[in-house]
Amino acid sequence: MYLRIDKLQVELPVPEEPDPKAAAVLQELLGGRFGEMSTLMNYTYQSFNFRGRKKLRPYYDLIANIATEELAHIEYVATGISILLNGAAKKEPPSGTPLATGLEAPNKYQFLPLGLGSVVGNSMGAFWSGEYVFASGNLVLDLLHNFFLECGARLLKIRVYQMTENPVVRTIVGYGLVRGGVHATAYAKALETLTGVEMTKLLPIPRIDNSKFPETIPYEKQGLHRILYRFSPNDYKELAQIWRGMAPTGDGELTVVDGPPEGFPIPDLPEIPETYAPEFDPEELANRARKFSEEFEKAQRNIQSKK
């Protein structure tokens, strides 16, 4: 079962201006092959299909727990896309062209069926696919795949970062590089304990320090690259048998934090009357309710008078 907390794992800026080009590119980190949908669904299905949980509890706990953090990651990337589309509809009458920005936007789908929201798809608009999920049932192979997936995700994050200076994208990538680094390290350590191969020596892939990207620095200063959050009130405790020892970065111990991070308020993006979203007028609803109750009372009186 899942609990849900109505907060965002990372605090996102809300710029004045929309940026549909950045919104289209950021889709790659949501629904691309190496995006958050893929990490989420890979680890989730590996945990659902996991056999021999009693015997291999620390590995099951690790995969199931990281899967849950990935849910929070699809949330902040999707929210980032909505933020980047905020204000993309112009204030014009319905017979004008309030959505003309969409003509030039790389991703029309965000404008048309979604009314300025995120697609469960990649930077070219192709939908995310369940074919991206690898869950072989072989624990070493699955962990090796997860290590590869986190490293691929890191490469894609860096490339997206290098396409735009938009602060929403760069905040998401900065935070994502730090948290993705934790996951890559966690899978590397899991493989080390299972096989004796020194996987952490391969990190980071690509071989460039997080510190080269200034947006990672505040998070690393808080030690977020050494923390594995336990995203559950009482479960998944045995992951601490894997997440321990000196961090590969050499600046401190790996620690498990019991419970999710504090989180930040989710920006409340305004309605978009130009896209008919969500087309809810409190005054009109109150009028309708009043009219309904008047008609109801009239019907009641009719019934009474016939008795």
Identify residues 247-266 at the interface with Mn ion (CB under 5 A): none
123 sits near Mn ion (criterion: CB under 5 A): no
Stretch that binds Mn ion, among 32-40, 191-199, 235-243, 260-268 (CB under 5 A): 32-40
Tokens of 241: 């048998």
Phi, psi dihedrals of residue 194, rounded to the nearest 5°: -80, -35
Q: Which residue in 157, 170, 183, 226 binds Mn ion (CB under 5 A)?
A: 183
Considering the complex, state which of residue 152 and residue 180 has its C-beta at the smaller distance from Mn ion.
180
CB of 281 to Mn ion, least distance (A): 38
154 sits near Mn ion (criterion: CB under 5 A): no
CB-based contacts of 6: which residues, under 8 Å, 6+ apart?
266
Strand segments, DSSP code E, in the chain are: 227-230, 255-258
Give residue for tokens 């008078």: 305
79 sits near Mn ion (criterion: CB under 5 A): no
Considering the complex, state which of residue 85 and residue 156 has its C-beta at the smaller distance from Mn ion.
156
- Between CA 199 and CA 203, with CA 200 as vertex, the angle to 5 degrees is 110
Please measure the distance between the N-terminal and C-terminal CA atoms of the chain and give it in whole angstroms. 53
In the chain, count H helices and then E strands: 9, 2
Stretch that binds Mn ion, among 28-36, 104-112, 236-244, 248-256 (CB under 5 A): 28-36
CB of 77 to Mn ion, least distance (A): 8
Q: Which residue in 9, 38, 39, 185 binds Mn ion (CB under 5 A)?
A: 39
Q: Which residue in 10, 12, 30, 73 binds Mn ion (CB under 5 A)?
A: 73
Considering the complex, state which of residue 130 and residue 270 has its C-beta at the smaller distance from Mn ion.
130
CB-based contacts of 143: which residues, under 8 Å, 6+ apart?
59, 187, 190, 191, 194
Give the footprint of Mn ion on this chain (CB under 5 A).
Answer: 36, 39, 70, 73, 180, 183
